[in-house]
Structure 1
């Protein structure tokens, strides 16, 4: 802990301290996966004791979920689909491909999505969980609205199904596409496997085309 540490008391001081902690978390995530970052290391990086970091966040997991929320919102802020007069189903392919390519360019977002349910949501309070799930639902609704605007044949329910499936597909495809060194070598020896972007694009194209065909 920094020798000059003073507890933040005013709202702007608290927000500044939270911002500094989140910035440190993002910086560390640029160097190592979330599984390798402990609360002690994060606290040292930001210059605080663990107990002081926990004054501003419930847990290590809550910090990374906050980072996820910011990364998710930033992705949606930039996500756009070209308004092209393409045939039915080719349009679905392009929408799914756009989602896959933009996600593939955001390593931090994909890693945190893949860690969200199995790891990060396992050590948070009910109060934090309610807030995070509320924000996550808003992000899913935004994604559904963007997709439905590009594919107006989708019903609101179908667009919601698709948006939730994006999270599920990324959660499975990301660790699959980023194996350990031994598994990567064994996979290459066995003939290789499609990369993250290709897997996500294929699965989302099939789902989106299926939802349109079913008229949901």
Structure 2
């Protein structure tokens, strides 16, 4: 830990510290699941004491929720679902939209890992103030995803698009750990014929959800 880094007090220096902490969190997340990353390890990676990390973030969990927020926004920025199109036989349009969402999420392992850890792990140790801020941003991102899908599938109502976007989060939360089991579970599953990949399971679940909402005119 450098003395200059410790003495930093100006807003741009404070922001530099936060950026360094978030960068260290991303590096660690690329190496192992978020549940296996301690505050001590995060502090060591960025070159700070644990107490100094907590000057800039509520907790270890708050750090990773900030990473989640940024990763989710980056995914939405890059998500291209195409122009509005008419309904097609067999819900082929819905299958393509759901497949695109599933494929692009599957390419972002850190994002899927954080989504799956959000409710059971990361939201369990944050302050009320941070919870309000994070959930507000999460709601805005969910709304944004729903609007992107609704532009491609105009039969969806605003409420239906919102339900679909929330369903993306819920299905990822369940499909990611299921598709990334321990070695023992993976070996047992292989003996029984294996299991679908994360992308396959996610695409199937999202297709069924989107087709169902369109069929119900939700």
The equivalences for 1:51-130 within 5 A come to 51-83=51-83, 87=88, 89-130=91-132
Note the C-alpha offset of 1:8. 3.0
Q: What is the DSSP-based 3-state SS (H/G/I as helix, E as strand, rest coil) of the residue aligned with 1:6?
A: helix
User: Hey, what's the Cα distance between the residues in 2 that align with 1:65 and 1:7?
Assistant: 27
CA contact (8 A) 1:24 1:42 kept: yes
Q: 1:127 to 1:8 in 2, by over 3 A?
A: farther
CA contact (8 A) 1:5 1:48 kept: no
User: Hey, what's the Cα distance between the residues in 2 that align with 1:138 and 1:4?
Assistant: 38
The equivalences for 1:1-216 within 5 A come to 1-2=1-2, 4-83=4-83, 87=88, 89-216=91-218
Query: Residues 117-148 of structure 1, C-alpha deviation per residue, up to 9 Å, x if partnerless?
Result: 00000000001001100110110011000000
The aligned length equals: 216
Q: Which ranges of structure 2 fall in alignment gaps of 5 or more residues? A: none
Q: What is the DSSP-based 3-state SS (H/G/I as helix, E as strand, rest coil) of the residue aligned with 2:140?
A: helix
Q: What is the DSSP-based 3-state SS (H/G/I as helix, E as strand, rest coil) of the residue aligned with 1:57?
A: coil
User: Hey, what's the Cα distance between the residues in 2 that align with 1:95 and 1:15?
Assistant: 38
Q: What is the DSSP-based 3-state SS (H/G/I as helix, E as strand, rest coil) of the residue aligned with 2:6?
A: coil
RMSD of Structure 2 on Structure 1 (CA): 1.3
Q: What is the DSSP-based 3-state SS (H/G/I as helix, E as strand, rest coil) of the residue aligned with 1:52?
A: helix
Q: Normalising by structure 1, what TM-score?
A: 0.97
